[in-house]
Amino acid sequence: METIVVTGTSSGFGRMLVHELAKSGLYSVIAAMRNSTAQNNAIKKELEELPGVKVVEMDVTSDEQVAKITAQILEEFQSIDVLINNAGVFGGGLLEAHSIQQVHRLFEVNVYAPLRLMKAVLPSMRSRQDGLIITMSSMLGFFSIPLNAVYSASKFALEGLVTGSYPELIQKGVESILVEPGSFPTELYQKAGIKADLAGVTASYDGMAEQMTTYANVKVSEALKKHQPKPEEVVTKIISLIAMEKGSRPLRNPIDQISGEAFSNQVAEELNTLARKQMAAYGF
């Protein structure tokens, strides 16, 4: 039975994914979350009641904790066959209104944490010449929009880390791929997140940030209401990727039910085509 580690399981896609993986009965599922003995304790108990699920306390921003929990999982289950880097945080606000410390905080969760988990599991995966890493990115890892520049930058960074390392890792038997959801009605947008923290700078824009935020919230809400995208479809996509044979999984897997499947696929295909052309121009 394969062992799957999922981060960020206290809400959203992570929580739903643990339920669906447990329902299949095919995997041992390690559900990692923060604050499992405090505000997330009820969710911990909920997930622990599922067959084949073990909940672990993990702060993905801690080198020490990630290393310790990874070692414990490997000792108990002998292998980590699949890592799903799902933990993440949303952010918003004017670029100038983010302190450098706030940008660091957002990157710590959205960029360094997935990289930290990858580095923790890769030695054991490489030694077995087998493993799958699925990292949750975003359609905002392709396109950056006003008030989301810092968040998009974190997802752009993830795209670069995964796409650049794919050829390195596949030669060692490890497949590392991306899933890029569009807007879905999950708790991500309701949480406080890590947002612009320099109120004085925001105020100096004479209400522009507030106007743009209100406008964007209305338009996104209208789009969600019109198209009613289902978060379950993202979970289904991830599970289907796990079931595929190594080497057959697409590197990029955008899924946006608002812009549409055809558009999402076009984005991935054109990026892959352009990347191949550029590499060919340099003789690779």
27, 151, 166, 215: which one is catalytic? 151
**What whole-number distance in Å separates Cα of residue 28 and Cα of residue 44?**
16
Neighbouring-strand partners of residue 176: 133
**What whole-number distance in Å separates Cα of residue 123 and Cα of residue 100?**
33
Neighbours of 200 (CB within 10 A): 7
Task: Give the strands of the sheet with 82-85, arranged side by side.
Answer: 53-57, 27-33, 2-6, 82-85, 131-136, 174-181, 254-255
Helices and strands (H and E) in the chain: how many: 10, 7
Is 112 one of the catalytic residues? no
**What whole-number distance in Å separates Cα of residue 114 and Cα of residue 89?**
12
Which DSSP symbol is given to 139? G
Burial of 262 (0-12, 13-18, 19+ CB in 10 A): exposed
Which DSSP symbol is given to 192? -
3-state secondary structure of 28: strand
Neighbours of 164 (CB within 10 A): 9
- Please list the active-site residues: 151
